[in-house]
A and B are shown apart, each in its own frame.
Chain A
Amino acid sequence: MMRVKPWLPFAFLAPALLGLFVFRFVPIGISLVGSFFGQSIRGDTLFVGLKNYLDLFGDPTFWGSVWTTLLFNVIINPLQVVLALGLAMLARRPTKFVDIFRASFLLPMTVSIALTSIIWSIMLDPTLGPVNGFLRWLGLPAQSFFRSPDQALPTLILVATWKGVGYWMVFLLAGLLAIPESLNEAAAIDGASPWRRFWHVTLPLMKRPLAFVMVADTAANFLLFAPVYIVTNGGPNGATHLLMFEAYQSAFAFLNHGRSLAISTIILLIVIAIALMELRLFRPEEEADTP
């Protein structure tokens, strides 16, 4: 690591830190403080200490969403990263038409999350949806998808992955393309199988991009709630009642900002803990300064 004049790093950091300070850190600080307050209906705020948190810990709805959120993330995060890496590997070589394929993988991310929710809710609609139209045509029974307690969460995972997989592929593709071809060729000449080359040459060089994608994907999926808000409303039977939806509902439907901010703070703590673990797991050997 470079040792330089003490002010120099801060000169490089200054514009970004200024922006983050004003537009993120100050509001986040206010929100964190807000999680220790309650609001009277007339808008006066009252200090309530840990009450918002203690109320949450005694609330089965909260624990239900914690469980749903963890289940959702334990499945979707590895799934998206593995699929994105697979796609990046497939789209890595500069063969014919590969730019058309890459572009088509990227297209879903230009569809906003609200629109994604609306389109898929129509595609998978039990009565008017083309997917069920197709199933009926094949002579198969129509499926409930978002409307069934068993299928709702898997459907949510698939829809989020539809939008996300191309997005995460971009970063991994950028990482793959930065690996010099010569390294792979050298290993191939040494007689290493494609699988060994992937495992021992490619993967170690992909630690930084992978770490980025893991952390960013974890944060994105913990904060995801638009499809829940637009399509399922947390149901059926709480099957898609994610923590972030509970936070949103608490703030904007139940007008309980203290509770909402307490949930957000808990989400923040969970995500940062997981992110630091992921960063440590994917830390390149030579790097000691990764948190």
Chain B
Amino acid sequence: MSASSLPLGILRYAALSLVAAILLLPIYWLVMSSFRPADEIFRFAGAFSLETLVPRTLTLENYQQIFAGTFTRALFNSIFVSFATVFLGVFVNSMAGFAFAVFDFPFKKPLFVIVLLSFMMPFESIVIPLYTLMRTFSLTDTYAALILPEVAGGLIIFLFRQFFAGIPKEIYEAARVDGASWWQIYLRMTMPLSGPTIATASLMMFIHQWDAFFWPLVATSSADLAVVQVAIARNMTLEQANWGALFASASTAVLVAAIPFTILQRYYVRVVVTHADK
């Protein structure tokens, strides 16, 4: 970094730190609260003191409590469902995005508008027919009910289409001249060139499934199929809330979901480094 840009650099770090602090503070409070004993969770919240930020007593009882129950199973279910959706979804949606980005075909525009429409209809408005449909297929109360409806996604197709469209068409023409099939071009050229796009799309699908609450609740009834958000929500009832268990399970969910993000992080950095190497 040159000398003249040093103040600018400091300014940037200051801005980055400020934004990070604002974004992280609520999560910090959530995680800290999960280590507090029941009578101290709200004790220091309404009047600010050091204890508002740093627990006076640390305890693992909230975590012991949730892991003694069915929370582990719910965690596993969500991990499985999220990864399965991402795995299938990357292929299904990138293929469609590829078709919209590269080919010219009849009814392309109306078809694309319909794909866009599919993520603009509120899910709550289609949940009743969707549930009836799943019953008809005898798919309710299975992993398939949690995974299949979320594999093909209009938003993900749109994402792939936008980023694929940025790849110059000339390279495809060259490959065609060399005798490559379109399937080979998609698999060997477009996909390897689209690392960040695939990572981003995977992240969207992962988060979508990780956050899923209403549909899993409706579509499954077995205790063995409960997902993580349902397990978290069970800590609150009208008569009483188990704040400690709620915060402990929520913190676990947040931190487990952060793992794929950290991996993605590294990936971005690597892409930039390759750019710099050129």
Within 8 Å by CB, do A and B touch in the complex?
Answer: yes
Mask of A251-291 contacts with B, CB within 8 angstroms, 1/0:
11000010011001001100110011000000010010101
> Which one of A51-59, A61-69, A175-183 is at the B interface?
A175-183
Given A109-B207, A209-B162, A212-B158, 13 additional A-B pairs, CB 8 A: A12-B103, A12-B182, A12-B186, A34-B129, A102-B268, A130-B29, A130-B46, A162-B26, A174-B268, A175-B163, A219-B120, A222-B120, A268-B121
**CB-CB contacts of B14-53 with A at 8 A, as 1s and 0s?**
0111011011101101100000000000101111110010
Whether A40 is near chain B, meaning CB under 8 Å from some CB there, is: no
8 pairs of A and B residues whose beta carbons are closest in the complex: A19-B152, A137-B48, A16-B96, A27-B126, A264-B125, A110-B257, A12-B99, A1-B104
A191: Cβ under 8 A from any B Cβ: no
Interface of A is mostly: helix
Interface window among A113-121, A147-155, A232-240 = A113-121
Q: Are B29 and A16 touching (Cβ within 8 A)? A: no
What is the interface of chain B, defined by CB distance below 8 A to chain A? Answer: 1, 9, 12-13, 15-17, 19-20, 22-24, 26-27, 29-30, 42, 44-49, 52, 91-93, 95-96, 98-100, 102-106, 108-109, 111-130, 133, 148-149, 151-152, 154-155, 157-159, 162-163, 165-166, 169, 172, 182, 186, 196-197, 199-200, 203, 207, 210-211, 213, 229, 232-233, 246, 250, 253-254, 257-258, 261-262, 265-266, 268-269, 271-273, 275-276, 278
Looking at the complex, which one of A115, A127, A223, A252 makes contact with B250 (CB distance below 8 Å)?
Answer: A115
A141 interface residue (CB < 8 Å to B): no
Q: Which residues of A contact B (CB under 8 A)?
A: 1-4, 6, 8-10, 12-13, 15-20, 22-28, 30-31, 34, 87, 90-91, 94-95, 97-99, 101-115, 118-120, 122-123, 125, 127-130, 132-134, 136-137, 162, 165-167, 170-171, 173-175, 177-178, 180-182, 208-209, 211-212, 215-216, 219, 222-223, 244, 247-248, 251-252, 257, 260-261, 264, 267-268, 271-272, 275-276, 284, 287, 289, 291
